[in-house]
Amino acid sequence: MRVFSSLDELGRSIGETLGPGPGLLVDQARIQAFADATDDHQWIHLDAERAAAGPFGGTVAHGFLTLSLLPVLTRDLYRCEGVGMVVNYGLNKVRFPSPLRSGATVHAGAQLISAEPAGGALQVVMAVTVRAEGADKPCCVAESVSRLYPSGGSA
């Protein structure tokens, strides 16, 4: 884990690469729970027999499930001293270049793209890449935008 001593240090670290972080297993139970939560029960996610004969050779995670894992996959990439709160501000770009097969373990790495003051916070844009172990291509690439609010002051 990269530790930044201050928001100023983080802001001066444009271009720095972080990670990859710890792995996370994306198993069929997680895929099923996401399908139930989002009411997206498409066969490529849930029907093992049909999916085995389909284009991906087995069930795959929903792209938005992979995207929803960004907070857990990136939380151990860095920490910044003097931050009281971090808010997910959104996304600039998202792509799913390859399927994430059920049973795969994924890791995320990130590169700091920008860091600028905004609304009393430091707005940080990270290019995040999620890759399944052994995969040739990433299963998700996204520009994640966060706002880091200082504890007891302004950015």
pLDDT tens profile 95-106: 999 999 999 999
Nearest-CA neighbor of 80 among 1, 2, 4, 16?
4
Tokens of 11: 């802001």
Rounded CA Rg of the chain: 17
Q: Is 80 exceeded by the pLDDT of residue 154?
A: no
**Could you tell me the domains of the chain?**
2-150 (3.10.129.10)
Output the pTM of the full model: 0.93
Q: What is the pLDDT of residues 38-92, one digit of tens each?
A: 999 999 999 999 999 999 999 999 999 999 999 999 999 999 999 999 999 999 9
112 membership: H or E segment, kind and range: strand 104-118
